[in-house]
């Protein structure tokens, strides 16, 4: 567009702000005035970015036309299941789902407890992407070792997710998201008086005066310190020892005549940092 800037009273090389009507819109432009010459009004081209696809928005008919006919089916989760239990000295969790979509994933944390105290946690994960959306099944599994047949509980929590996805000419398009969750739990029978707690069990506490906290009571009796000084490998004849000094304390070991002194260190699992941390070292009787 050209602007006639012939104004007799104007001085050369002055800059004026002119209001120019462009198609009904008012535009403020700075124009250099020099005598009676005409200047082109600089108008920068406007660039409009293509809108990003919304995940909750279903394709339009134009977009469906770029896809195979199978994508006109509505995606969804048909059914889900979660299970937890014990087999072959391991605690396990497993989850699965039947779905109609071309993308699916399952995330399943599995937590092991002993006497209601957390021992460790692991995560099962499964993810699949396909070209066509069809009715399919997906499963996830996870397990941890168990060193006893009583007192343990395993909990599994599964998160399920599906959607459809397709690369259109204008970019990647995703729609039809759906999520569900499910839980499962299983417990071993409570430990009886005849089942001694193992050193690897979370409930073992060598500092405890009464031994393991159990409905069966103590695994032995404690006496006073100041007795015989024992060293690793010594047989105490059934006497317990002081955890810090190794001296006999007059108590009765659950191992009876087979009680042997050992110097051991205990590590505990920190679920937050996922590392082992030393809890303490000392003398104990073992059999």
Q: How far apart are CA 161 and CA 266, in angstroms?
A: 41
- pLDDT of 184 > 90? The answer is yes
Which residues, in sequence order, are CB contacts of 262 under 8 Å at separation 6+? 232, 233, 283, 284, 285, 286
Lowest mean pLDDT among 87-91, 203-207, 278-282: 203-207
What pLDDT shows up at residue 263? 84
Domain 61-187: give its CATH code: 2.60.40
CA–CA separation, 30 vs 174, rounded Å? 46
Which of 13-17, 45-49, 120-124, 226-230 is least confident? 13-17
Position with higher pLDDT, 34 vs 123: 123
pLDDT score, position 27:
41
What per-residue confidence (pLDDT) applies to 163? 94
Angstrom distance (rounded) from CA 254 to CA 257: 9
Do 249 and 242 contact (CB within 8 A), yes or no?
A: yes
Length of the chain measured in residues? 287
CA–CA distance, 27 with 192 (Å, rounded to integer): 89
Mean pLDDT of the region 164-172: 87
pLDDT digits (tens, 9 = 90+) for 15-67: 334 333 333 343 444 444 444 455 454 544 555 444 444 444 788 888 888 88
Q: Please give the full DSSP string across the chain, using - where no structure is assigned.
A: -EE----TTPPTTEEEEEEEEETTEEEEEEEEE-TT--EE---PPP--PPPPPPTTPPPPHHHHTTS-GGGGSPPEEEEEEEEEEEETTEEEEEEEEEEEEEEEEEEEEEEEEETTEEEEEEEEEEEEEEEEEEEEEEEEEEEEE---SSSEEEEEEEEEEEEEEEEETTEEEEEEEEEEEEEEEEEPPPP-TTSPPPTTSTT--TT-TT-S--TT--SSB---S-S-B--TT-B-SSEEE-TTT-BEEEEE-TTGGG-EEEEEEEEEEETTTTEEEEEEEEEEEE-
Separation CA 162–CA 168 (nearest Å):
19
Whether the per-residue pLDDT at 196 is higher than 90: the answer is no
Structure tokens that stand for 55 in this block: 């995940």
pLDDT of residue 271: 75
Lowest average pLDDT, out of 44-58, 80-94, 143-157, 164-178, goes to 44-58
- Spans of all domains in the chain: 2-40, 61-187, 192-287
Of the listed ranges 35-39, 136-140, 156-160, 235-239, the one predicted with least confidence: 35-39
């Amino acid at each position: 567009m050209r602007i006639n800037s012939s104004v007799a009273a104007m001085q050369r090389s002055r800059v004026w702000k002119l209001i120019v009507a462009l198609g009904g819109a008012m535009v403020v432009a700075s124009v250099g005035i020099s005598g009676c010459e005409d200047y082109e009004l600089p108008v920068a081209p406007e660039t409009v970015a293509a809108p990003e696809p919304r995940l909750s928005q279903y394709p339009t008919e134009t977009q469906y036309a770029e896809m195979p006919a199978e994508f006109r089916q509505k995606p969804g989760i048909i059914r889900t299941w979660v299970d937890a239990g014990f087999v072959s000295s391991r605690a396990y969790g497993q989850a699965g789902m039947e779905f109609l979509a071309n993308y699916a994933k399952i995330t399943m944390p599995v937590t092991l407890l002993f006497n209601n105290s957390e021992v460790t946690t692991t995560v099962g994960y499964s993810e699949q992407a396909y070209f066509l959306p069809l009715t399919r099944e997906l499963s996830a599994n996870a397990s941890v070792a168990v060193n006893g047949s009583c007192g343990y509980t395993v909990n599994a929590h599964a998160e399920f997710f599906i959607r459809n996805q397709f690369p259109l000419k204008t970019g990647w398009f995703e729609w039809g998201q759906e999520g569900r969750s499910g839980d499962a739990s299983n417990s071993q029978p409570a430990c009886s008086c005849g089942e001694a707690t193992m050193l690897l069990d979370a409930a073992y506490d060598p500092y405890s005066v009464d031994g393991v906290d159990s409905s069966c009571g103590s695994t032995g009796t404690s006496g006073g310190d100041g007795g015989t000084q024992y060293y690793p490998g010594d047989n105490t004849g059934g006497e317990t020892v002081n955890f810090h000094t190794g001296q006999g304390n007059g108590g009765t070991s659950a191992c009876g005549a087979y009680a042997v002194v050992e110097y051991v260190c205990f590590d505990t699992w920190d679920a937050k940092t996922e590392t082992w941390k030393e809890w303490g070292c000392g003398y104990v009787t073992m059999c």
